[in-house]
Structure 1
Amino acid sequence: MDVYQRIQIPDNFPQVSFCIVNLNARDYLRACLERLPLAASQITWEAIVVDNGSTDGSPEMLETEFPWVCLIRNQTNLGYTRPMNQALRKAKGEYLVQLNPDTLPEEGAFNRMYHFMQANPQIGICGPKVFNRDGTLQRQCRRSAARPWDVITYFSGLYKIFPNSPFFGRYLLTYLPEDEIAEVEAVSGSCMMIRRAVIEQIGYLDEQFFAYQEDSDFCFRARQAGWKVVYYPEAVVIHYGGLGGSRTNPYRGIIEWHRSYLRYYRKHLARDYCFLVNGIMYVGTGVRLGISLFRAFFTREKVVGTKKP
């Protein structure tokens, strides 16, 4: 398939499919679904929720309060990537939105994203401006491909000392204005709109990633295939973060995050660097895993992955 080719969608199919994976996030999921009619008021859409064996009454809440949601029930926790692929395969829309259950899209957010992508056929993946619960920018919503120097400057804190420097601030692109549309290397899987033509060309999410880094991997593959990945701040979503599946078993979440980064690094980046750099990345990731587990043991707030500054 040629890049930028439009997929012919039957007239009775929705323009956008919202795909959500849920694990014990009932109240946040309810709030998210209640907001969708306002966020997508000018387009036709459907919502697909894959539940990963929740025990908090999420499936029953969906069946009672949101009978229009397509519910897929898994009996156990299958992680994130595999259930998200279940939803993506079920989806019928021209655009497919990966959406976390602990997100709140602002009014008209998906209207704007849809029309922006319709007007720019070279864009394969679009991510909105994502706020933390306190109203600050969740910087992971636009980032680099996490090459070694970018990761080192992030975890060493150098990006905080030199936030306006492209040399030190590349991972979170801190030198870019928050309200400027920008082509980036990756956006956050907490909310990203994908053109169906991208999936038709490069396939679904890579299920070797149990959870985490599947969004970075997908963005990397899309860019390799010639598509643009764009940060679009005219659409805004609040992401509470860490209130979905990772909260259920934070220690496993911490391990899976580091495992997934190593898999992502080996798959896409290791070939570009010598054995010494690769060794530093592998050892550094292992050390950081140990530190993260140690901190989690002694703190009430278990942080999975990178903090949401």
Structure 2
Amino acid sequence: MVSILIQHKNGEKVLEACLRSLKENTSYKPLEVILLDNGSTDKSIEGVLEKFPWVKVIKNKKFVSLADGVNVGFGKAKGAYLMWLNNDTLMEKGWLEELVTALESKKEVAAVSPVILPMDAEPKKEARTYVEKISLIGACILINRRAWERVGGFDGENFKPAYGEENDWCYRARNAGFKLLEVRSSQVWHLGSYTAEKIVKQRYLLENTHRLKAMLYNLKLPDLIRFVPGLTLIFLNSLRQGSTFFLLQSYWENLKNIKTIFAERKHRLG
């Protein structure tokens, strides 16, 4: 069984579009879909229950970190395969079958993800190709329960309220000897940070602070060096976008906590 967990906080239209796409494009069985209402204040959940009665709902009265929300949802899931799916995604036919096939391809595969496309992108016909990755994108990630239980859950303490938790888990999985695959024959469209769109600056700061923290916690020197070109590109893009101040602030947030970060790194890597 595949258990799909969708976290949600407000916004009926985006959630309804996601669930409709999921229903129309997913034929894999057995399947359970769990909706974690993470502190919604509108009536979006009630509307969903009327239109999609096959969805199981877990309600949090107040918002918890995304990582803790996933841990709660996965703890109640029945499937041997566990998916974290964003509420602002759309799918193509056969997307899940391709992901399951990849996850079952080798015992050492801990998790897989599809190609994540922006909403305005045209679908691309791709052969069944698997690309090994250092980390996967949390918008849609399918995890083998066996790997989940061995690696442990998402870190809700160090990555609250959001961002970087999927990178941290992926790095930990690789350090435990597992592999991560991007499945080129599976595609999912992602609107992107729907619930955080009104706090763009805070989101940008959190994203970069937490993703750098995840690297420092988990990556050995060769992997850190591999990220240098990407970090350089992020810096150059920040100059173009006018967000350099917030990027530098994210560096400072980690620098001022460097002793704590190195202590955690030593605990994890030895």
Judging by fraction of residues, say which structure has more helix: 2
List aligned pairs for 1:245-284, cutoff 5 A.
245-269=195-219
**Structure 1 residue 50 corresponds to structure 2 residue 36:** yes
Count of residues in Structure 1 that have an aligned counterpart in Structure 2 = 233
Give the corresponding residue for 2:63.
77
Deviation at 1:223, TM superposition (A): 0.8
**Secondary structure, aligned partner of 1:187:** coil
Deviation at 1:293, TM superposition (A): 11
CA gap 1:288/1:24 in 2 versus in 1, 3 angstroms: same
- Give me the identity figure in percent: 30
By how many angstroms is 1:51 displaced? 1.3
Paired amino acid for 2:173: A
Residue 182 (str. 1) matches residue 137 (str. 2) = no
* Structure 2 counterpart of 1:239: 190
Residue 178 of structure 1, CA deviation: 9.9
In structure 2, how many angstroms separate the alpha carbons of the residues matched to 1:293 and 1:56? 36
List per-residue Cα deviations over 1:235-269 (Å, max 9, x = no partner). Answer: 111111121x2125434323322331343133124
Q: CA deviation at 1:40?
A: 2.7
Selected match of 1:103 from 89, 108, 114: 89
Q: Which residue of 1 aligns with 2:146?
A: 197
Which residue number corresponds to residue 290 of structure 1? 245
Amino acid at match of 1:290: F
- Please, which runs of 5 or more residues in structure 2 have no aligned partner? 250-270
Matched-pair contact (CA < 8 Å) for 1:128–1:237: yes
CA separation in 2, counterparts of 1:181 and 1:88?
Answer: 25
CA contact (8 A) 2:171 2:219 kept: no
**C-alpha contact (below 8 Å) 2:201/2:246 kept by paired residues:** no
Partner in structure 1 of residue 178 of structure 2: 227
Alignment partner, residue 297 of structure 1:
none
Q: 1:206 matched to which residue of 2?
A: 155
Aligned-partner Cα distance in 1 for 2:163–2:122:
22
SS at match of 1:186: coil
RMSD over equivalenced CA pairs, Å: 3.0
How far does residue 88 in structure 1 lie from its aligned partner after superposition? 1.2
- Unaligned ranges ≥5, structure 1: 1-14, 138-176, 295-309
1:110-152 CA-to-partner distances (Å, cap 9, x unmatched) read: 0121123223332111011111111169xxxxxxxxxxxxxxx
CA distance in 2, matches of 1:120, 1:271: 27
Residue aligning to 2:79? 93
Question: 1: CA distance between counterparts of 2:18 and 2:51?
Answer: 13
| Worse-matched range after superposition: 26-35 or 223-232 | 26-35
Deviation at 1:26, TM superposition (A): 1.9
CA distance in 1, matches of 2:122, 2:92: 15
SS in 1 for 2:63: coil
- Aligned residue identity for 1:77: F
Q: Is the 8 A contact 2:205 2:246 kept in 1?
A: no
Q: Determine if contact 1:17/1:47 at 8 Å carries over to the other structure.
A: yes
